[in-house]
Amino acid sequence: MSTVKLTIDGKEVEVPKGTRVIEAAKKVDSDIPFYCYHPGLSIAGNCRMCLVEVEKMPKLQIACHMEARDGMVVRTKTPVVQETRKHILEFLLINHPVDCPVCDQAGECWLQDYYMRYGTHDSRLNENKVKKKKAVPLGPTVMLDQERCILCSRCVRFTDEISKTQELGIINRGDHSEVDVFPGKELNNPYSGNVVDICPVGALTDRDFRFKMRVWYLKTQATLCNGCSRGCNIEMQYGDQRPHHAKGDRVMRLKPRYNEQINQWWMCDEGRYGYKFHDHNRILNPMHRSEGKVEEKSWEQILPEAAKLIESAKGQFGVFVSPQLSNEEIFLIDKLFRKHLQNKQIFLISPTPDGFQDDFLIRADKNPNSKGAEWQNFRYQERTAADFFTACGKGQMQGAIIFGQDLLTLHGAHLAQPALQKLKWSLFIGSNHNLTSEFATHVLPSATYAEKEGTFTNFEGRTQKFNQVLDPLGDARPEWQILATLANGLGLSMKYDRTSEIFKELAEHVPPLKGLNYAKLAAEHDSVRRFAAPMVPSLMQDEGLIFQTTPETHPTQTTPSPA
Amino acid sequence: MPTSSAATPSLDKVFTAEVRQHTDPIVARYETKRASILEVLRFLMEKHGYVTLAMEEATARYLEISPMDVREVVTFYTLFYTKPLAKTRFNVCRTLACSLLGAPKIIRYLEKKLNIKPGQMTPDGAFALNTVECLGACEMAPMMQVNDCEFAGHLTEEKIDALLAKVQKRS
Amino acid sequence: MEKLISKYFVPGKTFWMEECLQDGGYAAAKSVFEKLDAAGTIEEVKKSNLRGLGGAGFPTGMKWSFVPQNTGKPVYLVVNADEGEPGTFKDRYVIAHCPHLLLEGIIIAAYANNVHKAFIYIRGEYVEPYKILKKAMEEAYAKGFLGSKVFGRDFALELVLHRGAGAYICGEETGLLESLEGKKGFPRLKPPFPAVVGLFGCPTVINNVETLAYLPFIFQRGAEWFAKLGSEKNGGMRLFSVSGHVKKPGVYELPLGIPLREIIYTHAGGIRGDRKLKAVVPGGLSAAIFTADEIDVDMDFDQLRAKQTMAGSAGVMVFDETTDMVEALLVTMRFYAHESCGQCSPCREGTGWVDRILTRIGMGGGLERDVDNLLDICSFMGGTTICALADGAAMPLRSYLQKFRSEFEAYIRDKKRVGGEDLETHGGSAVKRGEGASATL
């Protein structure tokens, strides 16, 4: 591939032919401000914020459109450029309503951030501002404020080029231009939430997040979405400083994280809004149920009891492996139940039936780790739950270990209930209440995937690590810890302090993972995050302005996340 | 929360066989269906007087583009009326040459005679008054376009009176 | 002075095919087909020093030579008949009186650029000229001057007449292309330039009506002859649209380089009522204004550029001593605010802002800092945008404020109110016609 060499702010940089100056500038840390540019969308060139000096050209040029050429000399910080930026900002603020106190975007607003960095001028405006529609629900997920809009057209380009649903457009002209939907229609497609991510200002805001929390109280952690087998990279953003807000919920919202190969800059609405289960309807304590009476137990009480039941069942029990479990946990199940206890009734059961799939991100398989299970020789269809229920009916089974699946709902209470009723015991290990957890004899609260770490393998065979975001709620424990304790009580020594140790071991046994470890996974992961467009970096931290936030608490600081 | 639009009229209600006799050849002249939109909308507008949302949606389907593509065009260009028209419409130029040669006086005179302000229509729907930008007829300033058709220039109060009389006589 | 195009400007008359042929119509085009090849045609046009007469003044022959002929894609010709620059009405005359001159020019241009399909984009408000042009096209098709075998040769030329719908920005060449493709008239980022990537992604030549209408003369009488009619590097004659406070407003065909004083006093009859001249707009609304003592200037592209204004569309608007320059600027900037497409921020916000400031000044609410603020604003409206509309707004704004500053200061100081315009009712840029909305300030 041929390259070109150019000079930006006195530093030489070499880039592939065809690279735009704005991308080339990232390589030398020249922060060129921009609004309308987005590496995942077509070039609009309308905000004019990225104007820079190019030697031998009389007018300033927009860096987002200008192609880097051999010998080009670019200057991004000259007085002319700075003055121009100031004036462009001023233009953008002319009709912009000063809604900051009531606008969700405050704290992550590009107008605020660039104003503090490049503007800081007193307003010269002595006129009325143009009035447009405010607080318009565009659809189930997005709220529009036309006055705040700077008409960068990112959202319109998104619905044209990415979701390809074309709901949004810009009507009228001049300073009466407005983003809108066709009268009577709404913004309603499986990816609608992304327009909120890419809107640099508070024109498009998330209805789910509306007024929930100020973003400077949010912490963020990089992890994965578990909503389907795509394994989109996300940031889980949570608050734990204001428990009196948001009814004590911790997870506030999910944002996509750039990954060149898997989800680029996007995530689907189903994944984005499917986080409530981390904080709602949780099983908080181990419980024992007998003769209709439910008794809370401690782990020290219930685990030995469970081990005894498993041992005495002598293989006459079913194990319902879930594709929601991590590779590490599935490995422990394999070691304990398949190899050590020689159990043959092991079923891979998905907690959800297959759903909608499209040719973009959404997969029909709504589990993050079906492939990981397959690599460890757990497959669907090899044996079904129906086989187990039949065996139960014949009195051949004593117990069942269920990893969170709601068998009663999945298979119908009329089929599953009588079968499970015939069992002496059922051990439910899961994070959220469901019909089956209300039925099982022993209920062990497990952590959600946000409360532990491990790896999932997506449908393409990409293995990715997910990180711990939160502490387990109540007395919940990660499945791998529960399994390790059980194993120790069943005569199989498991001395794992952390999941990285489990992964190292399992990598020896799973051929596609041979030689891998967490560090190597992380390095590979970083390599697909090249050329991600950074969000406006936190100014608060550099310049110690106003809020003295620490790096972890300011969301824009922790991960250089694409906008 | 936007409600779903009232029963979307089918494509054929707007683009009847008779209409298509005119619009199909128009569309055929262009390399893409979309490119014909200005002419197609103009045809619909001249037939019905103005463009409704239903016509916009039907046009979108007819040209195989999105409804928003049509909406953008209808709202961007000034010639597309989206409300019923007055029988006689005066579009008076307000740009430089006309302004310097007495357009404001003409406009105020018309306001007085018709008892409406620019942008309004008389209650009986007989007259509408608009101010518009340069129509490319500065040599006859001050001037106006009548019914989006003829140019009437070198306007004076007498000429306005005569024009109004002619219109009254016709009706 | 010999009349070329304006010979046909007989009030109320159109030169239809029959009379046109009797007058030698289409003979030049025929001779081009017979005697020259495409490259040779382009060379002749280069030699003629014909400049783009829509406003930009780009040498036509050079523009044609930029078109790549080896892309495998068809080359289109687009005729810009959008004539939106205020003060300009000459294309309307050409279309209404001598449409066949335009059609002949189109045929020559098509031949030179290997074009087999051309579009005429005529502004939607030109209803009568549209009807005339439509009929003239039918006549030309009937005679075989357009169609599958032009002049009976193996050269096809299909011509499509297309009406705009009321947007000044569609006179900008890439805004026109977007509009012709069925979208809003949003100008495109350049590069690529239309010559290489234009209509439907294909190489495209865009020429003004008048520019094309001169082509038959170039090939009838010779490129050198044409070049000599004008001034250095500005060949030929052009149609000056003269309006304002002159005794005889109208279209005057005069050589490139004619002194402005001569246009006003010799041809247009001088100032009405023999009043004193105050100011002149030399080249359409977007040109910087001249004061009365600046009119000893030769009207060609290069010389006017040297005087920090432009020849533009040759729309000459003449103001006499009764003119209120504040009102004139207000009306001017209101136009740009109304016509800004809204795509890029300096133009969208800047034109609206300037419109509101001037309206406020015109209603007696001016503030001391307003003039300096306006000058600062226009420095950053110009040179920062996708297209030249904002530059065209900045030029008059700066020149009025610099050359007539005292009038603005008087307004502000004395809280004067504009006498003519009724700013309450129709000040401001917000009115979309027919919507019943009254203007917002």
Domain boundary among C198, C229, C260: C229
User: Of C49, C3, C44, which Cα lies nearest the Cα of C232?
Assistant: C49
Chain C residues closer than 8 Å to B110 by CB: none
Contact B68 A181 (CB under 8 A): yes
CB atoms within 10 A of CB A480: 26
pLDDT higher than threshold 90 for residue A541: no
Same domain, residue pair C218 and C138:
yes
The pLDDT score that the predictor gives to residue A524 is: 74
The pLDDT score that the predictor gives to residue A539 is: 35
Q: For the residues A416-435, what does the mean pLDDT come to? A: 94
Chain B residues closer than 8 Å to A179 by CB: none
Q: How far is A172 from chain C (nearest CA, A)?
A: 8
How many pairs of residues across A and B have Cβ atoms under 8 Å apart? Answer: 47
The CA distance from B116 to B127, in Å, is: 9
Distances (CA, A) of B76 to A343, A477, B36, C126: 71, 60, 16, 19
Chain C CB within 8 Å of residue A48 CB: yes
- The percent of residues above 90 in pLDDT, for chain C, comes to 95
The H-assigned helical ranges of C290-388 are: 301-306, 325-339, 345-362, 370-381
Q: For the residues A337-349, what does the mean pLDDT come to? A: 94
Chain C CB within 8 Å of residue B94 CB: yes
The pLDDT score that the predictor gives to residue A530 is: 41
User: Please, which pLDDT band fits residue C219 given cuts at 50, 70 and 90?
Assistant: very high
The CA distance from A294 to A488, in Å, is: 27
pLDDT in tens, C72-131: 999 999 999 999 999 999 999 999 999 999 999 999 999 999 999 999 999 999 999 999
Interface probe, candidates B100, B105, B116, chain C, greatest C C-beta count within 10 A: B100
User: Please, which pLDDT band fits residue A562 given cuts at 50, 70 and 90?
Assistant: very low
From the list B1, B71, B76, the residue facing A182 with the nearest CB is B71
Identify the domain containing residue C353 by its residue range: 326-426
pLDDT in tens, C282-293: 999 999 999 999
From the list C189, C386, C429, the residue facing A174 with the nearest CB is C429
Same domain, residue pair C262 and C378:
no
Q: Which residue of C has its CA nearest to A88?
A: C346
Question: What ipTM did this prediction achieve?
Answer: 0.94
Chain C residues closer than 8 Å to B43 by CB: none
The pLDDT score that the predictor gives to residue A540 is: 34
Interface probe, candidates B78, B87, B88, B132, chain C, greatest C C-beta count within 10 A: B78
Is residue C134 situated within a structural domain? yes
Interface probe, candidates A185, A186, A207, chain B, greatest B C-beta count within 10 A: A185
Same domain, residue pair C260 and C357:
no
The pLDDT score that the predictor gives to residue A546 is: 32
Is residue C435 situated within a structural domain? no
The pLDDT score that the predictor gives to residue A527 is: 59
pLDDT higher than threshold 80 for residue C397: yes
Contact B68 A182 (CB under 8 A): yes
pLDDT higher than threshold 80 for residue A92: yes
The pLDDT score that the predictor gives to residue C438 is: 30
Same domain, residue pair C39 and C149:
yes
Domains of chain A: 3-77 (3.10.20.740), 128-279+534-558 (3.30.70.20), 287-527 (3.40.50.740)
Is residue C267 situated within a structural domain? yes
SS3 C130: helix
Q: Which residue of B has its CA nearest to A160?
A: B66
Is residue C120 situated within a structural domain? yes
The pLDDT score that the predictor gives to residue C425 is: 67
Same domain, residue pair C248 and C310:
yes
The CA distance from B159 to B153, in Å, is: 9
Is residue C441 situated within a structural domain? no
Same domain, residue pair C156 and C54:
yes
Q: For the residues A68-85, what does the mean pLDDT come to? A: 96
- Are the C-beta atoms of A297 and A287 separated by less than 8 Å? yes
For residue A43, what are the contacts with CB-CB under 8 A and spacing of at least 6?
A: A20, A37, A64, A65, C189
Q: For the residues A246-270, what does the mean pLDDT come to? A: 93
Return the CATH number at C20: 3.40.50.11540
pLDDT higher than threshold 60 for residue C431: no
For residue A372, what are the contacts with CB-CB under 8 A and spacing of at least 6?
A: A323, A326, A327, A330, A455, A456, A457, A463
Work out the burial of residue A374: count CB atoms within 10 Å of its CB; fewer than 13 is exposed, 13-18 middle, 19 or more buried: middle
pLDDT higher than threshold 90 for residue A474: yes
Is residue C340 situated within a structural domain? yes
Same domain, residue pair C39 and C85:
yes
B-proximal residues of A, 28-47, CB under 8 Å = none
The partner residues of B88 in beta bridges, in order of sequence, read: B127
Same domain, residue pair C113 and C241:
no
* Arithmetic mean of pLDDT over chain A: 91
The pLDDT score that the predictor gives to residue B9 is: 56
pLDDT higher than threshold 50 for residue B4: no
The pLDDT score that the predictor gives to residue A526 is: 67
Is residue C66 situated within a structural domain? yes
Count structural domains, chain C: 3
Q: For the residues C358-386, what does the mean pLDDT come to? A: 96
> Which of the 8 DSSP states describes residue B85?
P
What residue segments make up the domains of chain B, in order of their start? 11-76, 88-170
The H-assigned helical ranges of chain B are: 11-14, 17-28, 37-48, 53-63, 67-76, 96-100, 103-114, 157-170
Q: Which residue has the tokens 């006003």?
A: C264
Q: For the residues C222-250, what does the mean pLDDT come to? A: 97
Is residue C1 situated within a structural domain? no
Domain boundary among C209, C229, C249: C229
The pLDDT score that the predictor gives to residue A150 is: 98
- Are the C-beta atoms of B141 and C243 separated by less than 8 Å? yes
The CA distance from A502 to C2, in Å, is: 97
> Which of the 8 DSSP states describes residue A443?
E
Distances (CA, A) of A266 to A198, A237, A369, A531, B34: 10, 16, 20, 15, 30
The pLDDT score that the predictor gives to residue B168 is: 86
Same domain, residue pair C257 and C301:
yes
pLDDT in tens, A394-418: 999 999 999 999 999 998 888 888 9
Q: Which residue of C has its CA nearest to A52?
A: C384
Domain boundary among C320, C338, C356: C320
Same domain, residue pair C313 and C330:
no
**In chain B, which residues touch A (CB < 8 A)?**
1-6, 53, 56-57, 66-69, 71-72, 75-76
From the list B1, B3, B72, the residue facing A171 with the nearest CB is B72
Same domain, residue pair C257 and C385:
no
- The percent of residues above 90 in pLDDT, for chain A, comes to 84
Contact B71 A169 (CB under 8 A): yes
* Arithmetic mean of pLDDT over chain C: 95
pLDDT higher than threshold 50 for residue C11: yes
pLDDT in tens, B16-61: 999 999 999 999 999 999 999 999 999 999 999 999 999 999 999 9
Return the CATH number at C242: 3.10.20.600
SS3 A5: strand
From the list C200, C241, C437, the residue facing B138 with the nearest CB is C241
From the list B29, B34, B139, the residue facing C89 with the nearest CB is B139
User: Please, which pLDDT band fits residue A528 given cuts at 50, 70 and 90?
Assistant: low
Domain B11-76: assigned CATH number: 1.10.10
Same domain, residue pair C270 and C375:
no
Give me the phi and psi of C406, to 5 degrees please. -60, -35
Which is the CATH superfamily of the domain at B88-170?
Answer: Glutaredoxin (3.40.30.10)
Chain C CB within 8 Å of residue A66 CB: no
